[in-house]
Structure formats: structure tokens, C-alpha cells
Amino acid sequence: MNEIVFRSITKTYGSHVAIPGLDLEVAKGSFVTLLGPSGCGKTTTLRIVAGLEQASAGTLSLGGRCIYSSAEGIFVPPEKRGLGFIFQSYALWPNMKVARNITLALTEARMAASEVRNRLEDALAKVQLKGLEERYPSELSGGQQQRVAVARLIAARNSILLMDEPLSNLDAKLRTEMRRELKKLHADLGATTIYVTHDQVEALTMSDVIVVMKGGMIAQQGTPHELYHQPANLFVAEFIGDPKINILPGHMDGDAQGPRAIFEGFSMPMAEGFDVDGPVTFAIRPEHVEIHPKSVAGAVAASVDIVQPMGSQTIVSLTVNGHPVTALIPKFAQGLGQEEVWVSFNREHILVFDKSERLCVPEKPSVREYRRNTGG
């Protein structure tokens, strides 16, 4: 069942259209990330779910209950939506101790004191903050404050959680740790989660589904694996992946032997079924660039510009036919100087985008056969 359903949700600010019409369904218990560059409408979308922002048109339902409908004049206020939030600023009360920050909403909802105590104990244990409950937020590190916000979320036991860039104030090491903890939290609570970030690593590591947004619209929605390996368009291909995907302009040609990819000194046979001719853009992930010390069949000469070892991997910046190309080698590469090398690509890993920047996928043999037989 889908827990959160957007139907033609629109948001305008004066004459500015931030969300032109969003249709999105979030499955119960899933971790869905809204990912995209600054200004693409992620936060606005999340705030509309929270009720902190009212949409301009459309309908929105949570767990089968309509909470917003422009046509029917329905707007359920935030406090009646039963949601849990974490924002970039942890929104802790500075004048209240950790324990009070975590339990405030529970006591205000007149929950029995014993139940409040149980939930506090459970939440403190889950985020490993036991012993710090008598401190004020100003007496905690950024990471610990973040954990208090998470503990508050755990204690509330909401079935829907909304998180807006909750890790962006943390240093790199803590961010990695908290990513793991938030993922575990989601698994433990089983809550439907919408997570907003512009950080593609966070999106890839934590999500069941990523929704890439551009200009208030969905550029692609899918699993992290789908978005990484089969980006529907160049925007998604370039937004996801670090180091960035290599973009090489060229064209597709065909002869009796089948389709060929022609770019930067390469002329490669491609899989049967590519139904595209003329100018295209080729995109190749850095881990699919192969570097050879000697000339091999199908390889093109390249120069090594910069080598950046990162421990388990090495980023190698090359120039191929005057065009920059990045390779990612899965080891600490040594001995790569400013020398000439040869570069090749496996055709299975070459993505082809047409003039409108959409991914071209070769037709399956069965479909080709059918088309041939039916003249379609």
C-alpha cells in the first residue's frame, strides 16, 4: 500500500512556480529520498507533506486519509498529521535538558509518566546517549545534538518520518556514522520516511527509492541501482556518481555489421538493437574506463594528467584526444606518472543519450524480431 500519495501537487509563490504538478507515491515502510540541486523544490515538497507550507493545488493523502485537497478545501494542520520531523537545525529547546527535549511532546500529549519514562530509556539507548540526559543542548557536540533530535523522533513513534538535510551540519566522519544510524533507525522503526538531500552519496547509501528532482519536477524515480546504472537522462547521469560520469560527444553510425559508436578516436561496434543515428552523447562511469600500459586492440592513446590515490581507490585524470576523461581504479595505484597510456571502454558500460538527452536502450532481440515480422 502507498502511504503518501501526491496527485498534481502544485506550489506557486506569486508568479514563481516552484512545483508545477507533482505526482508521487511513497510505499508504506519505504525510505524515499528527494535528491536534487539547490532550488529544485525538495524542501518545499517536504514542507507540503508536513503542513508547514500549503500547496496551491492538487491533493495529498497520508495512510489513505486526505490531508490536503484544493478542490474540497481540505487542509489538515501539521499537529494533526501524526508526523515526525528532523531538520538541518535540530530545533532543540536550548533551555531544556536532553530528557525534556526528548519527552516534551509526549508529556504535552498527556502520556502516562511510566510510558514516557520507558520511551525515554529506549530512545536514549538506541542513540547511545545514556548518561547525558541531564545536560543542556549547549553542553553537547553537534553530533550529540543530532542524536537528541533522532531520540525525540524515536520516542514519538510516528509511522511517517520527514527529514530535511539532517546531516549537513556534521563533519564528514560523523556524517558517515549517522548515515548508518539513520538507516538502522529506519529498519528498526519500519516508518515510512521521506528524506531530503542534495548529497547523492547519502541518497545512494540510505534509500529504497530515490526521486531526482529538477525544476520542481521528477527527472527520474527508481532504486539507487537503477538510477546509477540506467539514468533516464543526462541530468540524472551527471548528478549521480562521484567522480562524475564521463561525458563524450560523438555520433552513432550503422553498417551491415550493426551500429557503431564513434567518439574521440574510438570507433566501436555496439550491441544490436540501437535504433539511433547521428549526434549523440556517450557517458561512461569512471570505474569502467580501463587503462593499459601498452597499446591493445580497441584502445586509444591518452596522457595521464593527475593521479589522486584515496587508499582503496585511485582517481586518474586523463586526456584522451584533447578531451578530459576520469578513471577510477579499485586500488592504490602506484607508478602512474605523466606518461602515455592507452584507454579502452567495455561497450556494455557505454550509455548513449540522444539529442534530447534521453537514454537510448537497445531493443531486445525478441522485440526486433516482432517488429520485423509485423513491419512495425
Nearest partner of 41 among 241, 226, 227, 214, judged by Cα = 214
For residue 100, give the 3-state DSSP assignment.
helix
Task: Extract the C-alpha cell encoding 155.
Answer: 520516542
CA pair distance 5, 45, nearest whole angstrom: 12
Out of 20, 21, 39, 143, the only residue in the binding site for ligand ATP (CB under 6 A) is: 39
Helix (H, G, I), strand (E, B), or coil: what is residue 292? strand
Q: Is 44 in the site for ligand ATP (CB under 6 A)?
A: yes
Q: Specify the amino acid at residue 96.
A: M
Question: Which range, of 13-21, 148-156, 247-255, 360-368, touches ligand ATP by CB under 6 A?
Answer: 13-21
As a residue count, the chain comes to: 376
Instruction: Please report how close the Cβ of residue 47 comes to ligand ATP at its closest, in angstroms.
Output: 8
- Of these, 36, 51, 84, 250, which contacts ligand ATP (CB under 6 A)? 36
For the chain, the 3-state helix, strand and coil shares in percent, each to the nearest 5, are: 30, 35, 35
Print the binding letters for residues 183-202 with ligand ATP: x by CB under 6 A, - otherwise: ---------------x----
Pick the binder of ligand ATP from 1, 15, 16, 172 (CB under 6 A): 16
- For residues 17-32, one letter each, b for 16 or more C-beta atoms within 10 angstroms of the residue's C-beta and e for the rest, the string is ebbeebebbbeebbbb
Nearer to ligand ATP, 18 or 182 (CB): 18
* CB 18, min distance to ligand ATP, A: 3
Site string for ligand ATP, 308-337 (x = CB under 6 A): ------------------------------
Letter for the amino acid at 207? S
Considering the complex, state which of residue 32 and residue 154 has its C-beta at the smaller distance from ligand ATP. 32
The CB-of-12 to ligand ATP minimum distance in angstroms stands at 9
Q: How far is the CB of 54 from ligand ATP (least distance, A)?
A: 12
Q: Per-residue contact track with ligand ATP, 205 to 224, x per CB under 6 A?
A: --------------------
Left if phi > 0, otherwise alpha if psi is -120 to 50, otherwise beta: which for 311? left
Check binding of 352 to ligand ATP (CB under 6 A).
Answer: no
Name which of 13 and 332 has its Cβ closer to ligand ATP: 13
Q: Burial letters for 323-350: b for 16+ Cβ neighbours within 10 Å, e otherwise?
A: eebbbbbeeebeebeeeebbbbbeeeeb
- State which of residues 41, 51, 259, 286 lies at the interface with ligand ATP (CB under 6 A): 41
Does 166 engage in binding with ligand ATP (CB under 6 A)?
no
Give the residue carrying C-alpha cell 516552484: 18
The contact set with ligand ATP (CB under 6 A) reads 13, 16, 18, 36, 38-44, 198
